[in-house]
Structure 1
Amino acid sequence: MSRQITVLSWNFENNGAGDTAKRVRAHEMLVSLNPHLVLRQEMWGSDANGNETMYQLEEVLGLRGWLGAKACTAVFADQNLFQPLREWPATGPMWVLPPTALTLRFTPAGSQSTPLAVASYHLNYASPTTRLAETEWLSTWADKKWTAPEGETVRIPALIGGDNNSYPAPGLDGDVPLPTLEHIADEPHRLHRSYPGPDGARVMDTRPDEALRTAGLEDIARHWATNAKDGERTAMSRTVNASATHGPDSRIDRLYATADLLGAVTDIDIIEVPETMSDHHIVRLTLDTDRLSDILNRQPSALQQATA
């Protein structure tokens, strides 16, 4: 029987805001979901005292962790399934909250398999202009290269996830509706979540989503909701609850993958957490290990064509 692996992406609010017991409870909740790969955002303070908090979270999760620059983001991985091949500390000049990015080999696929580019990211909160520039640099994870055993240089598959602080482009039934400026009571936040359109009127910010999909990184929830046999729509559930200041429910936390990985997807959904725990919910993705291994063992020319 084919195994499943679980990928979680979560912006845990302020990393528990210094409350160690709360932080441990939050990560014990992640453990209950049996994750093999965790993409975390808001890792504030995890680098203090020689990365003391980071090591604590590794112990709770039972996963190896990598903490990105400025303790903004992190990746945790099951070392029985993922072998680190390279870290990417230089992720571009525009980041306010730098991502954590790695090249990982999925070890069940074998030592000669094509690796994955994996990144946890957090786009800028306040500036739509900065977010777009950050997204343009984020798109480079769909363009990482690897030298195959035959000597051919190939583009490798990518899996990235995080807090986009912006909305998915509308157009799919069942997705969380795009708000309007009038739905957002907080005036500064109206600025944060919109940009001037061609006629000068402000438009809700969907540009990061559009940019990533232009670069060949598909919104996995959108893909699954469109292609699942049962017409599953919970993939596109809210990831942030409505609030008096920030407006209606929104789906700002998303996972993206290059098209070559979509055949390994078996489900994606949202795990809601109490607002007393965090202001963001958890995005959960499951992948079929056999399908993933097959994808990573395609001939290099097939991978190159799939990502061209």
Structure 2
Amino acid sequence: MPDVPIVMVSWHLAFNSPRGRERETDEILAFADKMNKRAAFIGGGDCNEYPHPAGESVPPIDWTSPEITDRTHMMHRTNPGPDGTRVSCTYTDETLLAAGLHDPARYAAHTLGRPNALNATAGRGKPNQGGPRRIDRHYNDPWTINAVIDVVVIDTSDFSDHDAVKVVYSRARFAEALRRDIAPQPPYDLTV
């Protein structure tokens, strides 16, 4: 492997505060900024909020649904919209993608034809909170995303309320990405 720093970050963002997750996401960006010094970036964890709906297989939660009865959870996971309705928090996903990072699950689903990469990772058995959602996510720099060959959501319901997410890389492509011998992926388009 090339002698290139790889910044690896694991996180568990605040479950109870949209503002707290925004601050934490901004701290993650400080690590991702090392990409500008030729370091690779791989990070992931429990984002405790939702992915931006672009490219997702599960529609956003309808917070006006009578099935959503956990009002405290709703306040933890939403912001007020312009018309006063509640809108799902997606700051982490939107910010990391806008900064040029890439979601390996979206890449696997849309580039590699692996739609199960977008499976929900938490929320099963909780229809009063919006049901199963993909809140556990990883992010890669625009070079190493090209080395992803699969993303697998592993059922860990025997011992956790969150499933594990395994990102599989090609060693050869990863080495090319570290040398930056392959073109970086363009920023993710949140309009698709």
Superposition deviation, residue 177 in structure 1: 2.3
Alignment match of 1:139 (pick from 20, 29, 32): 29
- Alpha-carbon distance in structure 2 between the residues aligned to 1:282 and 1:184: 26
**Native 8 Å contact 1:260 1:307 kept in 2:** no
**Native 8 Å contact 1:122 1:163 kept in 2:** yes
Residue of structure 2 in register with 1:296 after alignment? 178
Question: Which of structures 1 and 2 has the bigger CA Rg?
Answer: 1
- Alpha-carbon distance in structure 2 between the residues aligned to 1:294 and 1:134: 31
* Stretches of 4+ aligned residues off by more than 3 angstroms: 305-308
Residue of structure 2 in register with 1:76 after alignment? none
What does 1:22-41 align with in structure 2 at a 5 Å threshold?
A: none
Residue of structure 2 in register with 1:166 after alignment? 49
- The code of the aligned residue for 2:121 comes to T
Aligned to 1:218, the other structure's residue is in SS state coil
Distance 1:201 1:244, change over 3 A: closer
**Native 8 Å contact 2:42 2:141 kept in 1:** yes
Residue of structure 2 in register with 1:262 after alignment? 145
What does 1:32-111 align with in structure 2 at a 5 Å threshold?
A: 109-110=1-2
- Alpha-carbon distance in structure 2 between the residues aligned to 1:306 and 1:115: 20
Superposition deviation, residue 197 in structure 1: 1.9
Superposition deviation, residue 133 in structure 1: 1.7
Cα deviation digits, residues 233-257 of structure 1 (max 9, x gap): 0000010124144221110000111
Cα deviation digits, residues 133-169 of structure 1 (max 9, x gap): 2112211222116xxxxxxx82312000100110111
Aligned to 1:171, the other structure's residue is in SS state coil
Matched positions, count: 184
Superposition deviation, residue 172 in structure 1: 2.1
- Alpha-carbon distance in structure 2 between the residues aligned to 1:141 and 1:225: 26
Residue of structure 2 in register with 1:283 after alignment? 165
Cα deviation digits, residues 77-110 of structure 1 (max 9, x gap): xxxxxxxxxxxxxxxxxxxxxxxxxxxxxxxx04
Q: Whose relative contact order is higher, 1 or 2, with alpha carbons under 8 Å and at least 6 apart?
A: 2
**Native 8 Å contact 2:114 2:150 kept in 1:** no
1:117 pairs with 2:1:
no
Residue of structure 2 in register with 1:184 after alignment? 68
Aligned to 2:150, the other structure's residue is in SS state strand
TM-score (normalised: structure 1): 0.55
- Alpha-carbon distance in structure 1 between the residues aligned to 2:76 and 2:83: 19
**Native 8 Å contact 2:145 2:185 kept in 1:** no
- Alpha-carbon distance in structure 2 between the residues aligned to 1:217 and 1:306: 9
Cα deviation digits, residues 26-79 of structure 1 (max 9, x gap): xxxxxxxxxxxxxxxxxxxxxxxxxxxxxxxxxxxxxxxxxxxxxxxxxxxxxx
Aligned to 1:143, the other structure's residue is in SS state helix
- Alpha-carbon distance in structure 2 between the residues aligned to 1:166 and 1:267: 23
Identical-residue share of aligned pairs (%): 35
Distance 1:288 1:177, change over 3 A: same
Root-mean-square deviation over aligned CA pairs: 2.3
- Alpha-carbon distance in structure 2 between the residues aligned to 1:295 and 1:252: 27
Residue of structure 2 in register with 1:127 after alignment? 17
Structure 2 unmatched runs, 5+: 188-192
- Alpha-carbon distance in structure 1 between the residues aligned to 2:80 and 2:89: 9
What does 1:189-268 align with in structure 2 at a 5 Å threshold?
A: 189-228=73-112, 231-240=113-122, 241-268=124-151
TM-score (normalised: structure 2): 0.87
Aligned to 2:102, the other structure's residue is in SS state strand
